Amino acid sequence: MNVETFKYDNRVVRAFGIATVIWGIVGMLAGLLAAVQLFFPDANLNLQFITFGRIRPLHTNAVIFAFVGNGMFMGIYYSLQRLCKARMFSDFLSWFNFWGWQLIIVAAAITLPLGFTSSKEYAELEWPIDIAIAVVWVAFSVNLFGTIVKRREKHMYVAIWFYIATAITIAVLHITNSMEMPAGWLKSYSMYAGVQDALVQWWYGHNAVAFFLTTPYLGLMYYFLPKAANRPVFSYRLSIIHFWALVFLYIWAGPHHLLYSSLPDWAQSLGMVFSLMLIAPSWGGMLNGLLTLRGAWDKVRQDPVLKFMVVAITAYGMSTLEGPLLSIKTVNSLSHYTDWTVAHVHVGALGWNGLLTFAMLYYLFPRLYRTTLWSTKLANYHFWISLLGMMFYCIPIYVAGVTEGLMWKQFTASGFLQYPNFLETIVQVVPMFKLRAVGGTLYIVGTFLMAYNLYKTAKAGQFEPETEAQAAPMERSPETGAGWHRILEGKPLFFTVLSAVAILIGGLVEIIPMYLIKQNVPTISSVKPYSPLEVLGRDLYIREGCLGCHSQMIRPFRSETERYGEYSKAGEFVYDHPFLWGSERKGPDLAREGGKYPDAWHFRHMDNPADTSPGSIMPRYSWMLTQKMDKESLTARLNALRKVGVPYPAGYENGPAQKDLTAQAEKIVASLKTGAVTTDPDKEIVALIAYLQRLGTDIKAAPATATTTTN
Amino acid sequence: MLSNLVHFLLREGATINAYGLFSFLLFFGFFTGVLIWAFRLKPNHLNHMGALPLDGGEKHSTDKIQS
């Protein structure tokens, strides 16, 4: 038989491995800094660049795209070559993928602390970086498909299916959700508004979890677990069902992030039902993973790689059971906006992604350096410290979440809110925030131990840049021929089309009706576009990441309408590019903040929240009192907003807008004076106050006007 | 009991959202197709597929390296 000799590229695998460790530590430290600020707000050192609202997106982006992203590429570049029995399609594309991805991460690490953000969760990066992500992702996909096409192994193992689904879906999600109109080099407005923006964002947000944190890692599980245990997967048949059911169902589940919001009820119900159905494939996958170890549990006691894998897969099972349960509307009514969600995602992030990444690193480094792990004992310590860290992180935050939810909903016997002051409910859980930081610290200590262990392993061995391999070329069936014909008619293409159809159906069924059927977003005639000063204020709200702690979506519960006012209507957000509903409440909802307090209260509150709200954990925003607002960019901003559909009159931005801005600013300055506060009309705080005082007031202006239909 | 169920469906059917019904039928059909496909696969093929990760084609196997 004709056998070909070729070489696997280990260099790029090592590069991604090192990047995984470095960015993992950076991302976790950013998380710790954010966590500490929740009980010690001064930990921001009064620096705007490291304040919670800006550091939280840095943490989430770093952990998702830098730590898990690099870990994913590391695992895919290693396993794909061996499963295809072929070197990567192009070394150039491999390195383009590597350096491009690192540059994107560096760009994120610079722009997010500077306040350049689109505000859409896990998609915060501004448009030039979005374009760079698309380009690098295309390079990765071409390299992936190129390698699959030139493979020597005829059959594509299930791990490769998961990689293909990841490549296609992330491209679709990223491009659709990043449709935005530039208003400068690092500023843009979402093409979508309000409810539609929310649906697209959470269709993206949920599936970023699904197709960036889950499907590639499932592929990696299906490769590395059998390798580490040295036995085939428990049921290949089950893995087929797992794959197809998962990719088909996942894409529908996004609306479960918007339950009881202004999203039409039919979309909420679809999100809930499909989320519940997800338990079946997810648990199928978990059981398939755990049962692969049947008869090999003695190995689990010895081998740290398997230990990490077992707990990772268990955490996958736990979080994929909990996720659907949280999607049940009644459960969600308690859990949404609380720390319960934060605990849930950290079971996934610390447990599933973190521990599986550690397992891969412990598996790969000795092999790349052709030696044994420097210290198995240290790896075992890492395992236990990580596990303790997870427990200390998650348990207090679960307690905090449930406490918050119950306190927000608690009424007295006479029918009043038991805790009408929101602050009471947060002060109650501050001890839990402290415990959480202890858990996070433990987890990071473990990661440092791993980094040291891997470094010593590398020092003890000798790096093998390429691994020589042999395999027979792939047999070609007579009808397929060679070259392009084979590519077009070969299974990878057919498979890719099938996967694309499976993932697109859910998105199309949910998103298209939202645009085509007008009754989904009933209009309210008194809702008007923001004034120029309010636009600048809103952009400052976005810059500071206020939505990391304050929602703008009052759900139709008595506990919410009593506390915040009338529940939010879809028609109120038609000019919100982007929507700012938020997903967490570390502070009260602001949807009806307008007119609640005098201007001077806001001024003092932003200068030092503890002055107006003793015990508040909100950081100071004193820089907004001294920094001047960016009036020069107003023209570009209004112009961009008009292009996405906000009906400013033609030419408004070229003169009248500045005039209106000055008039409104002077009015606020005069109002501040009555509250014994003196400031200039060109300070950022004036714009922010203008925006906050506008929030939720439109529907009060004309109570009789309203809408044509209900959902 | 069955006739009660049928009557219930006929009576309430119109109130079930078309999107929900369409989505459910779509998934049901898809999932049934996948099940049929998966269960018609031959054991030999499944064994071959399951064993794929274990043979990476390396000239010097790395499987003996302890982590």
The CATH number of whichever domain residue A170 belongs to comes to: 1.20.210.10
pLDDT surpassing 70 at residue A368:
yes
A&B contacts, CB < 8 Å: 123
pLDDT surpassing 90 at residue A701:
no
Residue A487's pLDDT band, with cuts at 50, 70 and 90, is very low
Same domain assignment for residues A503 and A567: no
CA A183 from chain center: how many Å? 24
Contact A607, A625 (CB under 8 A): yes
Neighbours of A327 (CB within 10 A): 24
| CATH code for position A600 | 1.10.760.10
How high is the pLDDT of residue A436?
A: 97
The answer to the question of residue B67 being in a domain is: no
d(CA A587, CA A547): 10
Cα-only R_g, chain A: 26
Report the pLDDT averaged over residues A3-9: 95
Torsion of CA A484, A486, A491, A494, to 10 degrees: 40
Boundary of a domain, candidates A439, A474, A507: A507
The answer to the question of residue A474 being in a domain is: no
pLDDT surpassing 70 at residue A512:
yes
Same domain assignment for residues A428 and A552: no
The answer to the question of residue B57 being in a domain is: no
Q: Is A398 on the interface with B (CB under 8 A)?
A: no
Neighbours of A345 (CB within 10 A): 14
How high is the pLDDT of residue B63?
A: 56
Of B22, B48, B57, the CB nearest to A470: B57
Residue B3's pLDDT band, with cuts at 50, 70 and 90, is confident
Report the pLDDT averaged over residues A338-348: 96
How high is the pLDDT of residue A486?
A: 43
Q: What is the value of ipTM here, to two decimals?
A: 0.77
pLDDT surpassing 70 at residue A46:
yes
How much is the pTM?
Answer: 0.93
Mean pLDDT of chain A: 92
Boundary of a domain, candidates A507, A540, A565: A507
The answer to the question of residue B19 being in a domain is: yes
Judged by DSSP in three states, B56 sits in coil
The answer to the question of residue A86 being in a domain is: yes
The answer to the question of residue B58 being in a domain is: no
pLDDT surpassing 60 at residue A484:
no
Report the pLDDT averaged over residues A667-692: 96
Secondary structure letter of residue B54 according to DSSP? G
How high is the pLDDT of residue A437?
A: 97
Residue A550: which of A583, A516, A592 has the closest Cα? A583
d(CA A664, CA A676): 19
d(CA B8, CA B10): 5
**Which residues does chain A have within 8 Å of residue B32's beta carbon, measured at their own beta carbons?**
none
How high is the pLDDT of residue A669?
A: 97
**Which residues does chain A have within 8 Å of residue B24's beta carbon, measured at their own beta carbons?**
273
Outline where A473-626 has alpha helix (H): 484-489, 491-516, 532-543, 558-564, 599-607, 609-612, 623-626
How high is the pLDDT of residue A159?
A: 96
The answer to the question of residue A521 being in a domain is: no
CA distance A218 to chain B (A): 14
**Which residues does chain A have within 8 Å of residue B62's beta carbon, measured at their own beta carbons?**
367, 370, 467
A199-256 pLDDT per residue, tens: 999 999 998 889 999 999 999 999 999 999 999 999 999 999 999 999 888 888 888 9
Q: Is A302 on the interface with B (CB under 8 A)?
A: no
DSSP-assigned states of every residue in A578-638: S----SB-SS---TT-TTTS-HHHHHHHHH-HHHHSTT--PPP-THHHHSBP--TTHHHHH
A370 conformational bin, left if phi > 0, alpha if psi -120 to 50, beta if neither = left
Q: Is B15 on the interface with A (CB under 8 A)?
A: no
How high is the pLDDT of residue A489?
A: 39
Q: What's the full length of chain B, in residues?
A: 67
Max CA separation in chain A (angstroms): 92
The full 3-state SS of A431-458, as one line of letters, equals HHHHHHHHHHHHHHHHHHHHHHHHHHHH
Judged by DSSP in three states, A389 sits in helix
- What values do phi and psi take at A184, rounded to 5? 130, 175
A523-575 pLDDT per residue, tens: 888 899 999 999 999 999 999 999 999 999 999 999 999 999 999 999 999 99
d(CA A680, CA A668): 10
| A4, A150, A152, A237, best to mutate vs chain B, most B CBs in 10 Å | A237
**Which residues does chain A have within 8 Å of residue B66's beta carbon, measured at their own beta carbons?**
303, 366, 372-373, 376
Same domain assignment for residues A503 and A593: no
Residue A188's pLDDT band, with cuts at 50, 70 and 90, is very high
Q: Pull the structure tokens for residue A604.
A: 């003092």
Neighbours of A598 (CB within 10 A): 16
pLDDT surpassing 90 at residue A502:
no
How high is the pLDDT of residue A267?
A: 83
The answer to the question of residue A595 being in a domain is: yes
E strands, A142-220, in order: 180-182, 188-190
CA distance B34 to chain A (A): 6
Rounded to 10°, the helix A215-229/A304-326 angle is: 150
Residue range(s) defining the domain that contains residue A634? 532-701
CA distance A86 to chain B (A): 9
Of A157, A373, A469, the CB nearest to B58: A469
Report the pLDDT averaged over residues A168-183: 94
Same domain assignment for residues A570 and A694: yes
Q: How many domains does chain A have?
A: 2
More confident residue, B22 or A250: A250
Q: What's the full length of chain A, in residues?
A: 711
pLDDT surpassing 70 at residue A621:
yes
Judged by DSSP in three states, A7 sits in strand
Same domain assignment for residues A450 and A566: no
How high is the pLDDT of residue A582?
A: 95
Report the pLDDT averaged over residues A259-273: 86
Neighbours of A710 (CB within 10 A): 11
Neighbours of A158 (CB within 10 A): 25
Cα separations in angstroms, A665 against A15, A531, A623: 53, 11, 18
Contact A492, A401 (CB under 8 A): no
Q: Which of A142-151, A490-499, A543-552, A631-640 has the lowest mean pLDDT?
A: A490-499
**Is B31–A248 a contact, with Cβ atoms under 8 angstroms apart?**
yes
Report the pLDDT averaged over residues A158-168: 94
The answer to the question of residue B59 being in a domain is: no
The answer to the question of residue B9 being in a domain is: yes
How high is the pLDDT of residue A208?
A: 86
Same domain assignment for residues A338 and A252: yes
The answer to the question of residue A208 being in a domain is: yes
Q: Is B4 on the interface with A (CB under 8 A)?
A: no
The answer to the question of residue B27 being in a domain is: yes
A457-468 pLDDT per residue, tens: 999 999 999 999
**Is B62–A5 a contact, with Cβ atoms under 8 angstroms apart?**
no
Q: How many domains does chain B have?
A: 1
Residue range(s) defining the domain that contains residue B23? 2-51
Residue A503's pLDDT band, with cuts at 50, 70 and 90, is confident
Q: Which of A6-15, A238-247, A258-267, A331-340 has the lowest mean pLDDT?
A: A258-267
Query: Which residue of chain A comes nearest to B42, CA vs CA?
Result: A237
Q: Pull the structure tokens for residue A108.
A: 């994120």
Of A226, A249, A372, the CB nearest to B66: A372
